[in-house]
Amino acid sequence: MFMQNLDSTIIATALPAIGRSLGESPLRLNVAITCYLLSLAVFIPISGWTADRFGARRVFSSAIIVFTLGSIGCGLSHSLWMLVIARIVQGMGGAMMVPVGRLVLLKTVPRSELVRAMSYVSVPALVGPVIGPPLGGFIVTYGSWPWIFFINIPVGVLGVVLVRLFIDNIRETTVRPFDLRGFVLTGIGLASLAYGFEMSGRGELPLPLVAGMLALGAVCMTLYARHSRRVDHPIIDLTLMRIPTYRMTTIGGFIFRMGLGALPFLMPLMLQVGFGLDALSSGLITFASAAGAMSNKLLVSAIIRTFGFRRVLIANTLVSSGFLFSYSFFRPMTPHVVIFLALLAGGFFRSLQMTSINTLSYADVPPGMLSRATSLTSMAQQLSQSIGVGTGALLLYVMLGVHHTAVSGPADFSFALAAVAILSLFSVPFFLRMSPDAGAEVSGRVAPSKMPGE
């Protein structure tokens, strides 16, 4: 997860250097980022079926190998299209790595230890996007751009060795048939939605084309929803949404992540474009979010055990959104230590929220449906991240039109941060509908006694 999240963000800082090397404009090189995201969106839905069919260890280690080979191909690329093909290969590996890795964890860790395990698993997802840009800037400044991809080689080799040593080849005894039509519909639908939201607000494509792609994605996903009700073994099992805890955390988490997903995109831009900081200084400040995320690992289990998932999710959504909203008050003259401390505290609560959502999602999922649950959850997370980034970009684009300027100023970023903070609050109603004792078995908390009449 760290390797995938780092790789998906580290390339952005290196685009100018890669463009000079390949003789392409940095704007055209955006296709390398987009193709990676599209590859992820297309292949995530088949991750659960593949693990059931061939075994989790085999698929997990193969995915790491494919991702590492794709990284090597990126570093050796001498043209834009070589880079694009290598990025697509990376996306194929990344689409299997995260869902199948999470499936291994769910099937091997006792439910009573799931909160602690998920708290550590959530760290790479938060750390990668934060350290990616400054690390990319450092490598490009003091080294050469291929090393932003070659640094994956030792991580990949170590990962394969550890998988072979410690993970059993977990697989289902009965494998459901492959849903080819569902794969095509979800592939086109998710790719169109992810690309459409990624391009919205950037001004790189005509608005009618972006709208058309979003419409195509919505139509395909609607057709898939109808298709899934007619077949016995759909590639994405929407019947999981009948499980109350899974439904509430998936929908509520999707909305919360839309705000969260915009932060790694908006904050570095605000510090560099709005406040005039260089990439390295910006990265050293935004690293506070990762430090805050790592600081709560010893406390998260105790917090959830003491207050329960429902209370934590409701209260922590308000706190996390409050911190996100407070970032809209940052100004160029704001002391850097104040920004650092605010990001540090916000990272603590956002990590607590992600751990709570990720853990409770699987609390009531039957063992036989875990592979399908990891596929659906990963699909929702990928789409919510794309929508979050697209929303942040769109808000900045709107403010450019309002102010009739070509470059975003501090006030534009303040508006965007305030808006995504308010957006994340819309997840609260879904958490309010949860039972007070939701996930009690996983959290280790004694369920509260019910009031008469409940």
Residue 452 has pLDDT above 50, yes or no: no
What average pLDDT does this structure show over 215-236?
Answer: 90
Kindly report the three-state secondary structure assignment for every residue of 207-219.
Answer: HHHHHHHHHHHHH
Higher pLDDT, 165 or 298: 165
Nearest to 187 by CA among 375, 334, 318, 325: 375
Q: 37 near 363, Cβ under 8 Å?
A: no
What is the structure's pLDDT at 405?
78
- Of the two residues 37 and 179, the one the predictor is more confident about is 179
* pLDDT score of 448 more than 60: no
| C-alpha–C-alpha distance, residues 286 and 281, integer Å | 9
Q: What is the pLDDT of residue 129?
A: 65
Reduced to 3 states, what is the DSSP secondary structure of residue 232? coil
pLDDT class of 160 with cuts at 50, 70, 90: very high
Look at residues 162, 221, 168 and name the one whose alpha carbon lies nearest to residue 58.
168
Cα separation, 181 vs 401, in Å, equals 42
- Compute how many other C-beta atoms are within 10 angstroms of the C-beta atom of residue 162: 12
Nearest by Cα to 439 from 246, 270, 254: 246
Tell me the domains of the chain and their CATH numbers.
1-178 (1.20.1250.20), 239-438 (1.20.1250.20)
Nearest Cα residue to 336 out of 382, 380, 298, 285: 285
Kindly state the tokens that stand for 129.
């996007």
